[in-house]
Amino acid sequence: MLRFLLHYGIHIIVPIAIGLIFFKNNRIWIVLILLSGILIDVDHLIANPIFDSGRCSINFHPLHSYWAIAVYILLFIIKKTRIIGLALLIHIMADLIDCAFLLSESN
């Protein structure tokens, strides 16, 4: 249950909190952009099975690969794409925590 709450809490609550706390102008727009980071889960559609609660997404799905993560970091560094990069990195952070839970459950 904790794994589920943390994973989806980071996907939903963290973007909303960041948008509301740190962005005074265009809060709603920023929150929507940050929440849109979940869209990289579209790469799950090419996996078989599409959803597997025991699978770590990091470096399994193309948009969760180390190369993609490097691009997300670059997007975060560049000022004009910082919000998009942040949205994607929040998503990756949620998935990394999920993977950590999977590792601890297997040991």
In the block, tokens 């994607």 appear at 88
Residue 61 CB coordination number (10 Å): 20
How far apart, in whole angstroms, are the C-alpha atoms of residue 64 and residue 68?
Answer: 6
Q: Output the furthest CA–CA distance in the chain (Å, rounded).
A: 46
Question: Residue 31 burial by CB count (10 A; 0-12/13-18/19+): exposed, middle or buried?
Answer: middle
- The alpha carbons of the chain give a radius of gyration, in whole angstroms, of 14
- pLDDT at residue 87 above 80? yes
* pTM score, whole prediction: 0.93
pLDDT of residue 19: 96
Query: 16-52: per-residue pLDDT in tens?
Result: 999 999 999 999 999 999 999 999 999 999 999 998 9
**Extents of the domains making up the chain:** 2-106
Q: Which amino acid is at 88?
A: L
